């Protein structure tokens, strides 16, 4: 695909994301020759920095680029750093952008970037609309001389209402086709491969429904706690931080109907339909029975003391924010009627892993004796780490009789000859630069996800009979979560 000459203006350029993800992503694109010939990055934020300071911070002295720089020719590093610039917005993002505009125009002329601009919003989310408005006031959103695009970081909204308001607010200044809502899970190769696994193999898709699938399980675990983000996390929680966005994206890809083509709108239309078909939990009993929340408590891992969530910096000592969420739900459509979905996400788990497990129904009639307790076929899609796909199926135990044992057929991405796998942000940035929104969330998609999540959040907030469990760091969450999945086996705890 063609990548037009363009400029990338990053709002919030002194923040962590720019140094940790955006600049390294761009640097990789630069090394791989994917950046357009005429390209400029203009960082903007409230810190007082010169262009040189910015280059030092995000390139020359950046811990995130240290190793890459060592391996790259000096001239290549310099060529990259030389197109990075910085503009101090002063005290406030809510200000007159005329000076910014002047700078953009000067750089456009200097580097001949032809007026195509991506604005990347990596500011606190409360400022997204403010920045969009100020861009519009300075007439920096007009498409007259080159296209304009807006990339919006997560979190997109705090609830259904705030997400709707944000969509409305942004739509006042930018059209939907100009807006790219990032969800970095969509940038992961293995997540994209879900579409390919389902829709390019005749061995899976015919079985991909309520007739053959018993239940679907998705686990997202992280071994870290809230790290230095206690302040942010305490206002968010696992449901907002991971479930509403990343996990529901995975759900939509598992649930969706085949799109009629690989076009962004066709794929996203199907994803929206999938999200809209999730059965919204309305009454308290249903919410009580199907949702579990928990917090990690102070404990010891290998002799090291680990703080409990409520003791973390920036966290309210009486906090009721969940660091673990497990949700059981159904999908109300023809394909999935009656098939339960179990999705959980948590911090401070035994390991970092994300996987989707499709549990197939057992054969209707058993004629052989199984040696283990599991009689079902499983398809395990490992999103990360050890990216790959595992199929579990029955084989005969050698010897007399017909004893059956489960065997594994295991594919690892690392076995592919292709070694250059793009990082999520790298891939997503390149897509936006090329105007491909397939891997970005559309307004209606984000709202549909919130529609499902909102009642759970409200119920949890109400505190009425809402259980909050504790779990020690390094275990697979509260034991009570097993009740949720009861009758459908047990959670598959990867690595156990
Ligand atoms: C982010 C969350 O969106 O995703 C973090 O805010 C979380 O809390 C991270 O750690 C996980 O991403 P990944 O790619 O490491 O699974």
* pTM of model > 0.90: yes
Q: Which of 125, 158, 241, 314 to mutate to test the pocket of ligand 1 (most atoms within 8 A of CB)?
A: 241
- Whether residue 56 is annotated as binding a ligand: the answer is no
- Whether residue 222 is annotated as binding a ligand: the answer is yes
How far apart, in whole angstroms, are the C-alpha atoms of residue 42 and residue 28? 18
3-state SS assignment for residue 408:
strand
Which of these, 216, 244, 221, 119, lies nearest to 173 by C-alpha position?
A: 119
Structure tokens at 200: 């390019």
- Whether residue 273 is annotated as binding a ligand: the answer is no
Please, which pLDDT band fits residue 26 given cuts at 50, 70 and 90?
very high
Span 243-265, mean pLDDT? 95
Q: Which of 153, 154, 184 to mutate to test the pocket of ligand 1 (most atoms within 8 A of CB)?
A: 184
Which of these, 348, 381, 377, lies nearest to 222 by C-alpha position?
A: 348
pLDDT computed for residue 488 by the predictor: 61
Which letter does DSSP use for residue 187 in this model?
G
pLDDT of 372 higher than 70: no
Please, which pLDDT band fits residue 413 given cuts at 50, 70 and 90?
confident
Q: Which of 16, 192, 222 to mutate to test the pocket of ligand 1 (most atoms within 8 A of CB)?
A: 222
The interface pTM score, or ipTM, of the predicted complex is: 0.96
pLDDT computed for residue 496 by the predictor: 66
pLDDT of 299 higher than 80: yes
List CB contacts of 65: < 8 A, sequence separation 6 or more.
23, 24, 27, 58, 59
Q: How far is the CA of 222 from the centre of ligand 1 (A)?
A: 8
CB 241 less than 6 A from any atom of ligand 1: yes
Please, which pLDDT band fits residue 207 given cuts at 50, 70 and 90?
very high
pLDDT of 487 higher than 70: no
pLDDT of 10 higher than 70: yes
Which atom of ligand 1 is found nearest the CA of 154? Answer: 3
Span 472-490, mean pLDDT? 83
Place of tokens 């897509």: 431
3-state SS assignment for residue 343:
strand
List CB contacts of 75: < 8 A, sequence separation 6 or more.
none
The residue contributing the CA closest to ligand 1 atom 5 is: 241
Span 142-152, mean pLDDT? 92
Which atom of ligand 1 is found nearest the CA of 424? Answer: 14
pLDDT tens-digit readout, 163-184: 999 999 999 999 999 999 999 9
Please, which pLDDT band fits residue 9 given cuts at 50, 70 and 90?
very high
Q: How far is the CA of 108 from the centre of ligand 1 (A)?
A: 35
- Whether residue 464 is annotated as binding a ligand: the answer is no
Span 150-175, mean pLDDT? 96
pLDDT of 420 higher than 90: no
- Whether residue 347 is annotated as binding a ligand: the answer is yes
pLDDT of 404 higher than 70: yes
Poorest-pLDDT segment among 305-319, 389-403, 443-457: 389-403
pLDDT computed for residue 484 by the predictor: 86
The residue contributing the CA closest to ligand 1 atom 13 is: 185
pLDDT tens-digit readout, 69-126: 999 999 999 999 999 999 999 999 999 999 999 999 999 999 999 899 999 999 999 9
Please, which pLDDT band fits residue 387 given cuts at 50, 70 and 90?
confident
How far apart, in whole angstroms, are the C-alpha atoms of residue 262 and residue 255? 17
The residue contributing the CA closest to ligand 1 atom 10 is: 222
CB 222 less than 6 A from any atom of ligand 1: yes
What percent of the chain clears pLDDT 70, i.e. is strictly above it? 97
Span 139-162, mean pLDDT? 93
Poorest-pLDDT segment among 187-191, 251-255, 363-367, 439-443: 363-367
pLDDT of 417 higher than 70: no
């Amino acid at each position: 695909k063609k990548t037009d000459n363009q400029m990338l203006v990053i709002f919030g350029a002194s923040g962590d994301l720019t140094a940790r993800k955006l600049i390294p992503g761009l640097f990789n694109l630069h090394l791989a020759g994917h950046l357009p010939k005429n390209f400029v990055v203009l960082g903007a934020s409230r810190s007082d920095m010169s262009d040189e300071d910015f280059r030092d911070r995000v390139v020359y002295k950046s811990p995130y680029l240290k190793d890459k720089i060592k391996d790259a020719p000096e001239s290549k590093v310099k060529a990259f750093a030389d197109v990075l610039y910085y503009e101090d917005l002063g005290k406030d993002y809510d200000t007159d952008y005329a000076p910014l505009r002047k700078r953009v125009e000067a750089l456009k002329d200097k580097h001949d970037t032809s007026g195509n601009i991506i604005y990347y919003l990596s500011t606190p989310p409360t400022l997204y609309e403010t920045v969009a408005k100020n861009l519009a006031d300075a007439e920096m959103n007009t498409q007259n001389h080159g296209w304009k695009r807006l990339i919006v970081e997560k979190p997109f909204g705090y609830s259904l209402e705030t997400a709707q308001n944000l969509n409305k607010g942004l739509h006042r200044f930018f059209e939907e086709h100009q807006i790219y809502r990032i969800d970095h899970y969509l940038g992961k190769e293995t997540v994209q491969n879900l579409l390919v696994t389902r829709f390019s193999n005749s061995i899976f898709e015919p079985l991909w429904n309520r007739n053959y699938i018993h239940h679907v399980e998705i686990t997202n675990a992280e071994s870290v706690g809230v790290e230095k983000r206690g302040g942010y996390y305490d206002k968010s929680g696992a449901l907002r931080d991971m479930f509403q966005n990343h996990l529901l994206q995975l759900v939509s890809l598992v649930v969706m109907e085949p799109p009629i083509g690989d076009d962004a709108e066709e794929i996203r239309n199907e994803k929206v339909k999938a999200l809209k078909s999730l059965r919204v939990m309305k009454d308290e009993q249903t919410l009580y029975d199907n949702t579990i929340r928990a917090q990690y408590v102070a404990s010891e891992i290998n002799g090291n003391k680990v703080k409990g969530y409520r003791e973390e910096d920036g966290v309210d000592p009486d906090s009721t924010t969940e660091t673990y969420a497990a949700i059981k739900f159904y999908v109300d459509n023809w394909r999935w009627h009656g098939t339960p979905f179990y999705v959980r996400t948590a911090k401070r788990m035994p390991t970092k892993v994300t996987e989707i497990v499709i549990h197939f129904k057992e054969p209707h009639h058993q004629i052989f004796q199984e040696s283990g307790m599991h009689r079902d076929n499983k398809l395990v899609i490992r999103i990360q780490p050890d990216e790959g796909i595992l199929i579990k199926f029955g084989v005969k135990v050698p010897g007399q009789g017909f004893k059956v044992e489960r065997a594994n057929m295991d594919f690892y991405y690392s076995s592919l000859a292709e070694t250059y796998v793009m990082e999520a942000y790298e891939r997503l940035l390149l897509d936006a630069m090329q105007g491909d929104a397939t891997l970005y969330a559309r307004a209606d998609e984000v709202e549909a996800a919130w529609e499902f999540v909102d009642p759970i959040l409200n119920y949890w907030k109400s505190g009425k009979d809402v259980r909050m469990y504790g779990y020690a760091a390094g275990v697979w969450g509260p034991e009570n979560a097993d009740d949720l999945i009861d009758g459908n086996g047990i959670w598959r705890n990867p690595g156990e």
